[in-house]
Copies of this chain bind each other. A is one copy, B any other.
Amino acid sequence: MRYGARMPTAQQPSTGRRRNPATRAAILGTAFDVVAELGYARLTIEKVAAQAGVGKQTIYRWWPNKGALVLDAVLERSLGPGEPGDLPDSGDLEDDLTAVLVATVEEFADPAFDRALRGLTAAIIEDPELSQAYRERLDEPMRDLKRRRLRRAQEAGQLDADVDLDLAVDLIFAPVTRRWTERSGDLTPDGVRAIVRGALRGLAGSV
């Protein structure tokens, strides 16, 4: 299964009827709704097709499987048309990172978004190709924003100059993701701030 070859964004051939953007939008919108309501395991192509008022073949023509469909659905819905802007930069790194993570946790609190993202995550874990597509289209762009904010912090002298930025991103953001996926651990604003503070100051800072 190759992603990117017959993906929904494949280029048009020179002749023939063109793809209907409204159909694409209806499919992705319905796919998001279904995964948000039933989760990934109980999402079926037939259900999406019927609920979107679309033939099954129309879905199979553009997406190789459930995972690719859900990835596009989540991308379309969560990111929307706008370019992702930079992370906040108030001058206080700890405050800014906490704000970003609190906003993330608030998104998880929306049951529809929570279930949709869980569905996508479950699909990604088992499918290396989908995982790569996710990385390139969602994770890596977000990571880039985080790295940029951290680099500014280094320039401002708020972060050690020699720390690897990918390590820093993982240290700060991975604990929140873990608490979310495993449904255990403190995800309140205070708990999130403690993670940021711990990552910045270190667990053995005063010894």
Please give the residue numbers on chain A whose beta carbons come within 8 Å of chain B beta carbons, in ascending order: 39-41, 93, 118-119, 121-126, 128, 131-132, 134-135, 139, 157-160, 163-164, 166-168, 170-172, 174-175, 177-179, 181-186, 194-195, 198-207
Contact = CB atoms under 8 A, between A and B. Distances in A.
B119 A158 contact: no
A183 B126 contact: no
Shortest 5 CB-CB distances between A and B: which pairs? A202-B202, A170-B175, A174-B174, A174-B178, A122-B122
Contacts of A132: 183
Contact of A160 (B40, B167, B171, B203): B203
Q: Which residue, A125, A128, A171, A182, has most C-beta atoms of chain B within 10 A?
A: A125
Where chain A touches its partner, the secondary structure class is helix
Contacts of A172: 203
Contact of A174 (B124, B177, B206): B177
Contacts of A183: 128, 131-132, 135
A126 B131 contact: no
Number of this chain's copies in the assembly equals 2
B131 A122 contact: no
Contacts of A168: 198, 203
B126 A158 contact: no
B203 A205 contact: no
Given A119-B126, A205-B160, A175 B171 contact: yes
Contact of A157 (B126, B131, B164, B207): B207
A203 B125 contact: no
A166 B203 CA distance: 12
A124 B178 CA distance: 12
